[in-house]
Structure 1
Amino acid sequence: MGQGRRKDFGEFTAKLEKHIEKLPDYAQRAQEKLQRYIPPSEQGSRPSTPTSPTPPRPSRPQSRPSMPKMPPMPKMSQQLTSMAAGQLPGVSEAKAKWARWNEPAAKLERRKRRTSRALTFWILLTILCGLFAVVAGLGLLKDGQADVFQAIAGSAFTLVFGTFGVRSGLKLRALNRTVLPAAPAAPPPLPSARSVAREPMERLVESEASLAELLRQLSQPTSLGTMPVSEIAVADARATSTEAAQALRGLAGRIQAIERGRDSAPERERGALDAAIAQLRVQLDDGVDGYGGLVAAAGHTVAASSDGMTSSKESLSDATDKLAGLAMALRELS
């Protein structure tokens, strides 16, 4: 029942991000509606004087409450964009707490605490029942007359609670000797949904998962007992793919930095920054396509491994060399 009541924070966060992305549109509409109620003098435009032959009547001075000035729209859009690019502090904190709660180390520590408390409880009950059996056997409860039934009952409860205590102690010993496996590295966070680097990075994550599975297949012997490719080729492809992925993420980080600078830059400077972002996006797409070429070569090698073909094995080496050169060029850019 406890697992059924757990909340899906991922779905809640996705819905919240969709609403946050629409905040600039909401602010634009609110700005347009509010301009109707701002006095013309504060808007920078003078009211037109009516052309009438009769002199205007002197109007009584009316105290009009001053309307609060709205911040400039570009500044407000930048603030809302920064909110939409990230996550709300409360949501991020809740997700972090949920992740820490579900960590294997935290679960093991909670099991140790529960088992230790249970061991303490059974030990105390065993001691109390043992004392009761001794006191009843010595006749200290009824004026020096021993009560055999109470002594037997106390001994029986002592044996039962002692058994539970021994089991808890063995369980705690096993938990203390438990060695947790190395936690897998958390995947790097994806760029924000408003960034042009988001879609290439999503493709890169899918390609990484596919390549990891293909290289695992190439590391295992075939049904004939032979290796599809040499271990050196597999290790080289794995190392090259890791370096290329790091270079691509560095280039994506550079794009995001330029996007943040563009959002806070003057309007006249944004055209040059947009052109720089577009150029880096082309280079990022080329890098992800090169990574996909290595994935395709690994897939052809796995498909042809049962036939003993060498052309696919050579294509894997060629794709690895090409990706290594591409990763070197990307590292120089990022």
Structure 2
Amino acid sequence: MELRYLPQLANIATSKLPKVLPREDVLASELGVLEKAWNRGGTDTPAIKHLIWGIRNATRDERDIFVRSVDVVGSRLYGVCTKYSDIDVSVTVRVPEARSVEAFKRFCSRLESKLRQTRGFNNVVWIKNARVPVMKLQLNFAQHAYGVDITFNNGLAAAKSKMLAAYMHMDPRVRVFMTLLKHWGQQRQITDSNVVNSYGLMLMGLAFLIRLRVVPPLQLLSSAWITSVGWKRLGDIQRSPEEISKLYANVFCVQTEQALPRWDVEGHAGYYAGNRPGEGKWMSPNTMTAYELLFEMFKFYGTRFDPVRHAISPRLGMPCVPRTSLPELDVPTPDMYISRPQTWGERLRLLAIEDPFELSLN
């Protein structure tokens, strides 16, 4: 059999973006249609209002536990979603200190029972033994079924979502880039087969965009401004395992070298805070289009990224940091387990992505 196309893959490392269409304006138009379809969700739709009403109604008679807020998190908060995407919400509750664990368990059991009795709330299941306890259900509203995840006191989810939203507000290409990346992941069934979830794909893309200076590393800045001095300092950190290790204890702004205030979120040290002055005025030195950036990302991860040795760290703006440089990240070298299939489900991690806030979490 004659191989007409496979030999071309050997040249991808030096390839340029192919002319998939004779006119780039046609491509841009099609991408615009796709982006519009992927940004018809949001946090204020009738379905979300009905969901929040249902949760509020089911908890209105609670005496010991007070529901402070019901907030949308995840893709609907940072805007890379469709009209019918799943809905993630975080319920913030105040639990009395005395017997708090038992009181919270009873509260969740009552909420599960009441939601099951609420019209349109189907298949309600409280998964209490998950890493992040979650209540899953199917919301039937206006002739459509929405998957819903409800977590509790999940400040980390809100922080992560707001950080991704901040990056997307800094440069319009980021939203287009992330939309195309997520659409590709769904079309290839990557995000539906436990290979990597949508959040992981976003982090892979974000680390690459910071590397190409499309956006600055917000977790290493006291402002949204960064000059060549700051980029040089970031490069010095990225090349030094010792400098990377220091960031576990103290974080300094790469631009001003001033210490950043520690921001604790549920026991995790964070160094990102939104609403910085100038965040909406960021001007990237990178002039590539969103689809050129996506092509370069595929080329980078396909030719330069070694999943056995490298990890991905958007916190550092590094899409290929050595795993050994991130000692707190729980990702042993895959070759320790590849020859032992019986341990694959427990320890084998072929892809290592550092969470920006939970630094030990892959």
Establish whether TM, by shorter chain, passes 0.5. Answer: no
Tell me the TM-score normalized by structure 1: 0.25
Tell me the TM-score normalized by structure 2: 0.24
* Bigger Cα Rg: 1
